[in-house]
Each structure stands twice: as C-alpha cells, then as structure tokens.
Amino acid sequence: MRPLGAALLALVLLAALAAPVLAPNDPGQTFRTYLYAPPMRPRLVTADGRWQPPFVHPLRLVSRLEQRYEEDVSQAIPLTFFSQGKLARLADESRGPWLPLGADREGRDLLARLLFGARTSLGVAMLATLAALLLGVLAGGVAGYRGGIVDEGIMRVAEFVLVLPAVYVVLALRAALPLVLPSWAVFSLMAAIFALVGWPWVARAVRAVVAVERTREYAAAAVSLGAGHARVLFGHLLPACRGQIGAQAILLLPSFILAEATLSYVGLGFPDTVPSWGSMLHEASNVNAMADFPWTLAPAAAIFAVTLAANLLVEKPDRAAW
C-alpha cells in the first residue's frame, strides 16, 4: 500500500504546485450572483442526447432565499483547454464563471481556494515538519551520543512537552499572541509553534537509535582513527536514523495540517482573505454544510486524503528499520 500512499501524497503536492494552472479563477475573486453555487460539472452529452466536445450548462438562480440553483440545459458553454495559462476554462467567460467545485458564501471559486489553500496549509506543515526534524535530530543525537546528565536533561524536557496536551498547548500559545497579524507573521508563528510541540517525538526516536549505534564497532573504529565527536555523530551515527527520521516526518506532516485547520477553524489562524483548508472549514461551519452545501466541505476531503496517504506510507515502518 505504500506506493498508493506515495502516489496520493505526490498528487496533492503536484496539485498545490500547479494551482495557478489548474484553478480556472482567482481564489479571491467574488461572483456576487453565485453565492453557494453548486459544482458545474463538465459534460459531453447535451440534453437532447447529442455528443459534443466538453461543455458546461450555466446556472440559473431559482430561489435567492434558499440559494438554490438549476442548470440551464438549453445552453451549453464550451470549455477550452491550455488557453491563457489555464488547463481549462470557459470559451466565453462573459456568460458567467466556471465553478467546478461550486462557490462559497462570498461567491468565490472553491476549487481555486482549495488548490491555493493547499499551498498555505501544506507550506505551514512542511516548514513546521522541517523545523521539528532539525530540532529533534539535534537534541536526540546529542542526548544519545553524550549520555549521562546531558541525556537526562534533554529527555526530561522532551517528556515534559510530550505529557502536555498538544492541542491545548498550540491553542494557548497562539491565543497569547496578537489576534490580528499579517499573513506572513501568522505563517511563521504557526510553523514555529508546531515545531516546538513536535520536536520531542523526533528526539526520542533519534536518541534511541544513536544510543545503540554509538556502541557499534564502526563507531569505535571512527574514534580510534581520530574522528571528532561532531564527525562521528553527524557522519556516522545520524545516517543510521534515516528510517526513523523519515517515518517521523511523514507522521508529523498530517498532524500539523490538522493543527493548522484547528487553529483556523476556531479563528486563531489565517484570516478569511487568505485561502487555507482551515479557514475554508471555518466558513463552512457557519451553515448546515452537510445538508445544504456539501461541496463546501471539500477541504475536509483534502485533509483526509493527506492523512490517509501518510498512514499508508508509514505502514509497518519499524520492521525494515530494526
């Protein structure tokens, strides 16, 4: 199942990188006459049964109170591909926008916000994962190599962080900071907070491997040949932790994505103007999305996909490592 997990995660990352090409509209562009519009599916068969190149039916507002729309099957707007830097768009955009996943409460393209939101959510998670790995590898490597009081001190700090409820710690740290911050500041602060919470998991895994590997003959041989402590640790012992470091990175990534979604959901993350999976779910929570506008829950499906991919990738990770 690991190839499936790798393919799924690669697909999500590729979609995030190609967001400007895949999104037919700008994520911040609003279409006031399409509030909570449903998805506009591409079609190949017209209402009278004729086949033709891909097209969509325009939407017609039936009830403004219920925000209910119907397809106008009497009209067919062709789709054009690889035009104006877009993978697909309407051949005649003057007849209305194309909303493949529908629209949110502001009339913004959900697909565009989902793709650009992947950049935000995955960017925070990946930066936090990298920072947590650096801190954890350094702390765990030094603890496992030095042993004694250094090992005890570092591991006690790590265990203190581990016993704290991570969700509440993240919420408390973010709530202690100013609520209104620039987007870049929110991005950096969230990544830093997540890294401070996540590094002990990496440190424990690395420390366990280094503590065993430093007693091996190859480590003793390196010391006898005059290798310094830094060279032994970084050149010989830490490379033996590659499997554990990789497994921890794959586990931390979806955890940080969920943490970003949690903070944005409760209003402590990115503002509404910045698309992220968490802020999109926060918007969906303001209505009965499951019953009335289920397409607004698309970010939940994206988070589930990344979490599933990570679990498939770390299936039985210790068997090969040990």
> What pLDDT is attached to residue 149?
92
Task: Summarize pLDDT for 35-82 with one digit per residue, the tens.
Answer: 999 999 999 988 888 898 999 999 998 988 888 899 988 888 999 999
36 phi-psi bin (left φ>0, alpha ψ -120 to 50, beta other): left
Cα separation of 61 and 46, whole Å? 21
Task: Summarize pLDDT for 96-131 with one digit per residue, the tens.
Answer: 899 999 999 889 999 999 999 999 999 999 999 999
Average pLDDT over residues 195-218: 89
pLDDT at position 245 over 60: yes
> What pLDDT is attached to residue 213?
85
> What pLDDT is attached to residue 317?
47
Instruction: Say if residues 158 and 204 touch (Cβ distance below 8 Å).
Output: yes
pLDDT at position 23 over 90: yes
Task: Summarize pLDDT for 156-187 with one digit per residue, the tens.
Answer: 999 888 887 777 777 777 777 776 778 888 88
pLDDT at position 321 over 50: no
Prediction pTM value: 0.85
Neighbours of 263 (CB within 10 A): 27
Cα separation of 209 and 151, whole Å? 13
Tokens for 50, please give them. 């004729």
Tokens for 306, please give them. 């990344």
> What pLDDT is attached to residue 267?
77
> What pLDDT is attached to residue 93?
82
pLDDT more than 90, % of the chain: 40
> What pLDDT is attached to residue 284?
82
> What pLDDT is attached to residue 316?
56
pLDDT at position 244 over 90: no
> What pLDDT is attached to residue 320?
40
List, in order of start, the domains of the chain with CATH numbers: 40-98 (no CATH), 110-321 (1.10.3720.10)
Task: Summarize pLDDT for 283-314 with one digit per residue, the tens.
Answer: 887 767 666 788 988 999 999 999 999 888 87
| 77: β partners | 56
